[in-house]
């Protein structure tokens, strides 16, 4: 289990951008724009055909970026991102087969949960850090507050429906390490190559760090 690695990754910044790349040519300038704004941990989803190639290019060409894979659904996908050298993997939910594959993988997994039962299941598997998804639709801040007392060992990266204002409320919770957000990478900005806008949005996350948002 590589829990400590995940802990260090999640502690790096208050927001992990959830990145959907439609054209791999955008991968490197996008990653450079985020890193320039102070956001180093990048979750590139496997939702498009460009996902794997984008991860490969970012790892190879963007020093300082901590590149992971999102929307990892199977052990086969986990193997693929491991071969690319991904720093971490994120799943929207969990299955026994995915958790079995993750046990022997060099890539630390941030497993997805949405219910107390799912949190208990991944805790039993040795995971302390997990994703709550979809965060807003599954109860948001109130849900995480409710989970803190009966399941104090669980630490979360909530993702789904979060914006900068909502992020402040999540980050004030003791069981939240960081949040996942797609607002840092607006699709129109990516398509237009407006990297300055993305750098500006990334720089704004500094104000969301625990303490700064109080």
Residue 213 has a pLDDT of 41
pLDDT value at residue 209: 76
Active site residues: 43, 131
In which residue ranges of the chain is pLDDT below 50? 1-2, 211, 213-214
Instruction: Give the per-residue pLDDT at 101.
Output: 97
Closest CA to 156 of 125, 211, 113, 212: 113
Torsional class of 125: left (φ above 0), alpha (ψ -120 to 50), beta (otherwise)? alpha
Q: Compute the Cα dihedral for 136, 169, 13, 15 and give only its sign.
A: positive
- Angle formed at CA 164 by CA 138 and CA 109, multiple of 5 degrees: 55
Its sign, for the CA torsion 81, 82, 86, 90, is positive
**What is the predicted pLDDT for the residue at 210?**
58
């Amino acid at each position: 289990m590589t829990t400590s690695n995940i802990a260090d990754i999640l502690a790096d910044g208050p927001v992990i951008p959830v990145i959907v790349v439609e054209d791999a040519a955008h991968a490197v300038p996008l990653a450079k724009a985020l890193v320039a704004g102070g956001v180093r941990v990048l979750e590139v989803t496997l939702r498009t055909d460009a996902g794997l190639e984008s991860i490969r290019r970012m790892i190879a060409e963007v020093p300082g970026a901590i590149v992971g894979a999102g929307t990892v659904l199977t052990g086969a996908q986990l193997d693929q991102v491991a071969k690319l050298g991904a720093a971490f993997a994120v799943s929207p939910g969990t299955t026994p087969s995915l958790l079995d594959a993750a046990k022997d993988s060099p890539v630390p997994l941030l497993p997805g949960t949405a219910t107390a039962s799912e949190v208990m299941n991944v805790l039993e598997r040795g995971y302390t850090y997990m994703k709550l998804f979809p965060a807003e639709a599954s109860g948001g801040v109130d849900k995480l507050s409710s989970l803190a007392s009966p399941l104090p060992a669980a630490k979360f990266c909530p993702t789904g429906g979060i914006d900068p204002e909502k992020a402040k409320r999540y980050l004030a919770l003791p069981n939240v390490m960081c949040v996942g957000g797609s607002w840092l990478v607006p699709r129109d900005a990516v398509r237009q190559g407006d990297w300055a806008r993305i750098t500006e949005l990334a720089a704004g996350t500094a104000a969301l760090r625990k303490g700064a948002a109080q």
